[in-house]
Amino acid sequence: MKYLLSLLIVIGFYFSSFSQCIDVFGRSADCPDANDSLVVYNNALKVYEFYEKNPDYIKLISVKLTTAQSVRDCFYQLQDAVDSFQIRWQLRERVLKGEDLPKVLLPRDGKNIPMSDYFVYIDAYHFYQRELENGILNTTSPFPVYDIRIAPLVVNSYENRFGHDGFNGDFVNVALYIPVTVKPYAMLTDSEKVVREQILSGNIPKQVIKKKTVIATLPPKPKTKKQVDTTILQSANIELVLPTIEKIPAPKIRKAIPLDATPIYYRDWLMGYMIKRKFRKFLPEDEFYWALPNWMVQFLNDDVALEKYLRIKWGGYYDGLYTD
């Protein structure tokens, strides 16, 4: 019951106009309304359909996000994945320009993958992001949409072991909304209300639920919330397979970089993050630190030159180096 209450606080009581809502980071936010829930619900159905019924992918594990901190860490990892994709993009560009970087592989077509195929910013609350992994990117998969006021419930891992679709070896680690838990309450059937209550109270039903449902195509990439398409399209009966949840601890990760940290670049290379007024430089334990050019490594290790540059760039706003 405590988990149910905390989840409802996270997603906000959009049906109570007077309520004060927060996002997954604990910050004050506008309450999500029925349209916000519908967009997430429609998209969740498409993503589940793709991975759960795709004959090439098998599900390896499903980890439930049971606390506010686990949800927050999940969104931090999503941001870290965007940063790592940006670095992968830079490395591919260097290979395409003739550099010999043996650890860097190009896609089969020999072209770089644009950022817009992996991550798209929509507005202050919404963004598209394919997954937490980006070594192999299956761009034929539905583009998951996330709302930072609505908490995903699971992180599922899938692997493409058969490759009929040309993506053999693709490992997917994706944060998912269970559709019935984000469907607007007014649209729920009586049986769906029972299933929803069971899931949110921690009792995931293991049986396959057959029901008539609705599927909508992914809404267009809007610049504002008003442009989000929330049209519902009727479909034939489908089987919605609820994931089997395994009670395992969440993986340990380094202290996450806050989502609102500002990435700082030097000569188009990520050198660190401005966290409030302090600079957190790129560290050897960070992914892709090995790929930094020698001049960048030398620059990061020269605290005098680094301090001088940051003082020139940020002036009195800069308040020293950040330590974890």
- Please report, to the nearest 10 degrees, the dihedral formed by the alpha carbons of residues 69, 71, 77, 82 taken in order: -140
The alpha carbon dihedral of 21, 26, 28, 29 has a sign of negative
CA 128 to mean position of chain CA atoms = 8
CB 114 within 8 A of CB 148: no
Given this model, what pLDDT does residue 248 score? 34
Q: Compute the distance between CA of residue 206 and CA of residue 208 in angstroms, rounded to an integer.
A: 7
Per-residue pLDDT of the chain (324 residues; tens, 9 = 90+): 445 444 544 444 344 444 568 899 888 889 999 999 999 999 999 998 899 889 899 998 888 898 889 999 999 889 888 888 888 888 888 888 888 877 777 777 788 888 899 999 998 899 999 988 777 788 889 999 999 999 999 999 999 888 777 788 888 999 999 999 999 988 998 999 988 888 877 655 544 333 333 333 333 444 444 344 444 433 333 333 333 433 334 333 345 666 667 778 777 677 888 888 888 888 887 766 777 778 888 888 888 888 888 888 778 888 888 876
Q: Hey, where are the domains in the chain?
A: 2-240, 262-317
Q: Give pTM, 2 decimals.
A: 0.61
Give me 257's structure tokens.
Answer: 């970089």
